[in-house]
Structure 1
Amino acid sequence: MDLRQKIIATAFNLFYEQGFHACGVELLASQAGTTKRTLYAHFGSKDGLIAAVLDYRHEQFFALVEQALQGVSGAYSETAYLDFIRAWTHSPEFHGCLFINACAEFSDPNSPFYQQASQHKRQVRELLYQHFVADNSIDAQQAKIAADRAFIFGEGLIVAVQTGQGELVGYFGQAEH
C-alpha cells in the first residue's frame, strides 16, 4: 500500500469511528505515520482528504454489494441485499453509514460532501435497479419499484441500528434461500 492509500485508509477509519469534524489534520497525519505537510501535498487540504475517503468508501461499498448480489436473481435479490445490510450493521466494525454521517455533519445541501453522499445513495439505487432489471423476470417499472423498496428498507435498517434500534433488524433476519 502506497503512502496515499495508507493515509486514505487511516483517515477512513478515523472519520468513520470519530466523525469528520472530530479529526484534525494533526491526528490524521500522526495516525497515518506521516506529516501534515505530506498530507497536504497529497490532498491539498482536509477537504481534499474527506473527498478521497468518501470515494474510497464508495468503491469499497459497491464491491461488497456487488459481491452480495452476485449469482442471486429473481425474488431473492431484495432479500440478498437486506441480508447484506443486516450482516454489515451487526458487524463489530459497524459505526453507521459514512455517507449518512457526512450528510449529518455537512447538512447544507450545497456542501460538496453532502452532494457526494447524495450521489453515492443515488448510485446504490441505480445499482439495485440494474440488478433487478437484468433479471428479465420483471419489467423496468417493477424493477424500479423493487430496487427502491430494497433501498428504503436497507437505509431504514442502517439508521435503526445506528440509532440503537438494532432489535428491529430481526424483522428482516436471514432469509431462507
Structure 2
Amino acid sequence: MSIKENIVRTAHDLFYKEGFHASGVELLAQNAGTTKRTLYAHFGSKDGLIDAVLDYRHKQFMDKLAAALDEKPKAQTARAYLDFIVDWTKSPDFYGCMFINVCGEYADPNSSPHQKSAAHKSQIRDFLRTRLSENGTDKDNAQKLADKVFLLGEGLIIAAQTGQCDMAIEDLADIVC
C-alpha cells in the first residue's frame, strides 16, 4: 500500500469514528505514521484529504452494495437493498453514514463535502432505479420505487445511528413494493 493510500485509509477510519472537525491534521498524520508535511504534499490541505476520503468511501460503499445486490435476483432489489442496509447498521464498525455525518459538519450546501454527499446519495438512487428497470419495471415506476426504497433505507440508517434498533423491520420491503 502506498503512503497516499495509507493516509486515506487511516483518515477514513478516524473521520468515521471521531468526526471530521475532531480529527486534526497532526492526529491524522500521526495515526498514518507520517508527517503533516507528507500529508500536505499528497493532498494539499485537510480539505483535499476529506475529498479523497469521501471518494474512497463512495467507491467502497458502492462496490459492497453492488456485490450484495448481485447475489439476489433483480426482482428482489428492494428487499436486497433494505437487507444490505440493515446488515450494515448491525455491523460492529457502524458509526452512521459518513455522508450524512459530513453534511452535519459541513452544512453549507456549496461546500465540497456536502456536494460529494449529494452526489453519493444521487448515485445510490440511480443505481436502484437502474437495477429496478432491469427487472422489467417501467421507467416511471422504477424511479418511484427506487425513491421509496432509498428513503426507507436512509430512515433505517438514521434510526440505527440514533439507537432505534429495536424496531421490527422484517417486513419493510412489503411497505414499498
Q: Which runs of 5+ in 2 are unaligned?
A: none
**Which amino acid letter does the alignment assign opposite residue 33 of structure 1?**
G
The residue that corresponds to 2:151 in the other structure is 152
The residue that corresponds to 2:11 in the other structure is 11
Query: Aligned pair 1:110/2:110, yes or no?
Result: yes
What is the alpha-carbon distance in structure 2 between the residues aligned to residue 158 and residue 135 of structure 1? 26
The TM-score with structure 2 as length reference comes to 0.94
Task: Verify the 8 A CA contact 1:82 1:172 in the aligned structure 2.
Answer: no
Structure 1 segment 131-170 matched on structure 2, within 5 A:
131-136=131-136, 138-168=137-167, 170=168
Q: How big is each residue's C-alpha offset from its partner over 1:120-161, in whole Å with a ceiling of 9 and x where there is no partner?
A: 10111001111111112x111111111111100100000000
Q: Shift of residue 75 of structure 1? A: 4.0
Say how many residue pairs are matched: 173
What is the alpha-carbon distance in structure 2 between the residues aligned to residue 66 and residue 144 of structure 1? 18
Q: How big is each residue's C-alpha offset from its partner over 1:45-101, in whole Å with a ceiling of 9 and x where there is no partner?
A: 000000000000000000011011104335411000000000000000000000000
Task: Verify the 8 A CA contact 2:107 2:114 in the aligned structure 1.
Answer: yes
The TM-score with structure 1 as length reference comes to 0.94
What is the alpha-carbon distance in structure 2 between the residues aligned to residue 116 and residue 54 of structure 1? 7
- Percent identical: 53
What is the alpha-carbon distance in structure 1 between the residues aligned to residue 26 and residue 58 of structure 2? 25
Task: Verify the 8 A CA contact 2:17 2:95 in the aligned structure 1.
Answer: yes
Output the aligned Cα RMSD.
1.4
Q: Which runs of 5+ in 1 are unaligned?
A: none
Of 71-80 and 29-38, more deviation after overlay is shown by: 71-80
The residue that corresponds to 2:69 in the other structure is 69
Q: Shift of residue 173 of structure 1? A: 6.5
